[in-house]
Chain A
Amino acid sequence: MKNKSLVSINDFTKEQQLRILDISEEFEKNPTQRILEDFVVATLFFEPSTRTRLSFESAASRLGARVIGFSSASSSSVSKGESLKDTILTVSNYSDIIVMRHPKDGSARYASEVSPVPVINAGDGANQHPTQTLLDMYSIRKTQGTLDNLNIAFIGDLKYGRTVHSLTIALTQFNTTFHLVSPPELKLPSYVKRHIKDRNLAYHQYTDLMEVIPVADIIYMTRIQRERFSDPMEYEKVKNIYNLENAMLAGSKDNVRILHPLPRVNEISLDVDSNPKAYYFQQALNGVFVRQALLATILGVK
């Protein structure tokens, strides 16, 4: 995987994905190793994403790498009208690997094609965010001991949620049963369901969150994002439709864990945080280990 860009989760085979998870485990046991002292990591964030950027920068720093970059387009030469290609070619002169977040769909694939150094996609518009998918897979495997044969429930905006689409497609490699809870207007798109059907796996659709609580091994909550709605009335109708409260978890399985890509708004009540089944903050921490594994692997150190 040395020098291999990661744009879409499908760029890595199942075996390569699992290898990244295994290496992530090593970093969880020993997170501070100065194995990337000779490397410069560029983090180019053409749109702000504080959480993802800090997670990458933390991962790079703990491995001893230098980090350069910018955190919004307004503080880069984009504001002077520079093309993405020129920015990438310039920055690749200064760095050994580029981590990029960009508002346009497909920008990461394009960057990986023009860049002489490998590119890790940290989110390209509404398209892909593969490091989120890998950290979700890591969190599921760590809490359940396996990725195989699980009942995974996704709740909220399944139509526009890029995180849900990529994770669903990745999990079809592991004989997952999918439980999909959403308002009718935010159901999982047919192209994602197609992936489930192609593997002959089962999926069940619900509108009531309570129906999936007793069967789920993972409850994956998502935020309903205001910016996805062109009609504000539509957003008002569904914005608070799902709210997971601690009392609702009474009938849940012992092994169930609650995941959320964060930031959360109203979809998980604060009283869930102290429940040992809440896992979303550890999930965010796991993102650092997974990004350490990716940096080290792609730079050829692991």
Chain B
Amino acid sequence: MFKIEEVSLDEIKLIGEFDASQAEIVTDFIERYEVTLTLDLEELSYISSMGLGILVKNYHRLNSMGYKVILKNLNEHIKDVFKYTRLDQLFVFDE
């Protein structure tokens, strides 16, 4: 079960399990934004490497326009995944 919701014009929320089967849905949703984008991951229970790749791709896309990607409310598993892939050095964390 996975859902993606718009919280405001510069914030979206990922909910549930973000696996490879959700790649197209998330890509289509996120690529509409051209702002400094906050991702609320409080209810994201799982992310795979495919999910990480989509977030990194959008980080580079927004960064090239002068914007940032801010992540907030990561659970322990998600934090570990970012740490092991050194992506904690790339994104801004709102803790």
Chains A and B come from one and the same complex? no
Taking beta carbons and an 8 Å cutoff, which residues of A are in contact with B? none
